[in-house]
Structure 1
Amino acid sequence: MSDKTNDSQTLGPDGVGEPTRRDFLYIATGMAGAVGAVAAAWPFIDQMRPDASTLALASIEVDVSALQPGMSLTVKWRGKPVFIRNRTEKEIEDAKGVPMAELKDPVARNANLSPDATASDVDRSAGKGKENWIVMIGSCTHLGCVPLGQAGEYGGWFCPCHGSVYDTAGRIRKGPAPENLHIPNYAFISDKVIRIG
């Protein structure tokens, strides 16, 4: 008698074949090949990503000379919309008149100030002498939708997806959004040019 192993498939009681050693070898070889292909492709995929220093230095300059009071501009920065608004005197006065106790989020969320700065109108704006300018990342802090400008009951921004309402300083007043619209790092490099980033 021969001690050879029989690789032919044996049928089980339900008529389905039981796996053999050859089946296992096919599966193991296929898996090893797939892992090897991914390992070989990864350096090519990884080199397409920009490095951290490129992302950290990414900035844009925006000419706002054409924006009269009451006008807005939306630009794209790092793949996100950024709202730039030259507010009217009435919009500034409305924002200044809101008691801090009424605010849902009392923090400024302004990357140009300390993290604990309050959400006063001046801390949300471009600062003393430039209170008319407001620059904010245009992504709702609820789920990242893009709110509509000069809409909603406070005359600021309204996110129709889930009903978040922001005032003329970009502060959340009603709806599910937990935070004010965030303000990126920016500076006026001249009277009419803003550098964002």
Structure 2
Amino acid sequence: MAEEAITDAPELATGDGVRRRDFINLAAVSAAGVAGVSLLVPLISQMAPSADVLAESSTEVDISAIQPGQAIKSIFRKQPVFIRNLTPKEIAEANAVPISSLRDPQTLAERTKEGKENWLITMGVCTHLGCVPLGAGEGEIKGEFGGYFCPCHGSAYDTAARIRKGPAPKNLEVPTYEFTSDTVVKIG
């Protein structure tokens, strides 16, 4: 029996129990994990949009005063937005353009909301280098296609704000929007 007790002793020393070294390793890894998370949280949270950007995440515009054929400029996320009330003639001109002839093919119906085809809402930023096109203000040059004209490099847009001539690669961007009533549109 004494021999059995002696042979059991080495098994206890190297057994499956938790050793001091295992505890220290576990504590060190846990501390490193907590430190890593405490460093990552501020790093990731600083990438979130600031309060002033979140406050401008949407804007409402009263469109009741815009007559057919008129356009206004508004601001959305610190960029100009053009809101245009198209006339039946402008709608017909836009629909008459063969889609295959357009650089960035889109129909007027794709750029407007169903039932509100006369309301065209686009960002007022040229897709070439970011200039603000003319054509939304009273008496401004609308270009040869009756829409918008970018004075920086000569891009011309039609009545549906689609690129027709010049260096701009794409149509004026249509932001997300919805009509909250017949006279108010919420952009964003």
Normalising to structure 1: TM-score of the pair? 0.66
Q: Which residue of 2 aligns with 1:174?
A: 165
Counterpart Cα distance in 1 of 2:61 and 2:50: 24
Following superposition, the deviation at residue 57 of structure 1 comes to: 7.0
Q: Which whole-Å deviations, capped at 9, do the CAs of 1:138-178 have from their partners, x for residues lacking one?
A: 00000000000161111000001101000000000010000
- Paired AA for residue 148 in structure 2: W
Instruction: Tell me the equivalent position of 1:5.
Output: none
Q: Which amino acid aligns with 1:170?
A: A
Rounded to whole Å, the distance in 2 between the matches of 1:56 and 1:178 is 31
2:180 is the counterpart of 1:194: no
Q: Secondary structure at the match of 2:91?
A: helix
* Counterpart AA for 1:136: T
Secondary structure, in 3 states, of the residue corresponding to 1:191? Answer: coil
Task: Give the corresponding residue for 1:136.
Answer: 122
Aligned to 2:97: 98
Aligned residue type for 1:82: V
- Segments ≥4 residues shifted beyond 2 Å: 49-57
Q: How many Å separate the matches in 2 of 1:80 and 1:54?
A: 12
RMSD (CA atoms): 2.3
1: distance between equivalents of 2:148 and 2:185? 22
Which of 1 and 2 has greater Rg? 2
Greater fraction of residues in helix: 2
1:7 matched residue in structure 2: none
1:86 aligns with 2:85: yes
- What are the Cα deviations for residues 29-88 of structure 1, in whole angstroms up to 9, with x where unaligned? xxxxxxxxxxxxxx9xx98x9538953871111000011101111001101000000011
The letter of the residue matching 2:71 is: S
Output the CA distance in 2 between the equivalents of 1:73 and 1:58: 20
Are 2:63 and 2:184, in contact at CA under 8 Å, matched by a contact in 1? yes
Q: Within 5 Å, which residues of 2 pair with 1:1-197?
A: 50-51=49-50, 55=54, 58-106=57-105, 119-125=106-112, 127-149=113-135, 151-197=142-188
**Counterpart AA for 1:95:** A
TM-score, normalising length from structure 2? Answer: 0.69
Output the CA distance in 1 between the equivalents of 2:49 and 2:101.
Answer: 43
Quote the Cα distance in structure 2 between the aligned partners of 1:124 and 1:182.
9
How many correspondences in the alignment?
139
Unaligned runs of 5+ in 2: 1-41, 136-140
Partner AA of 1:104 in structure 2: R
Mapped to 2, the partners of 1:54 and 1:157 lie a distance apart of 28
Amino acid at match of 1:159: C
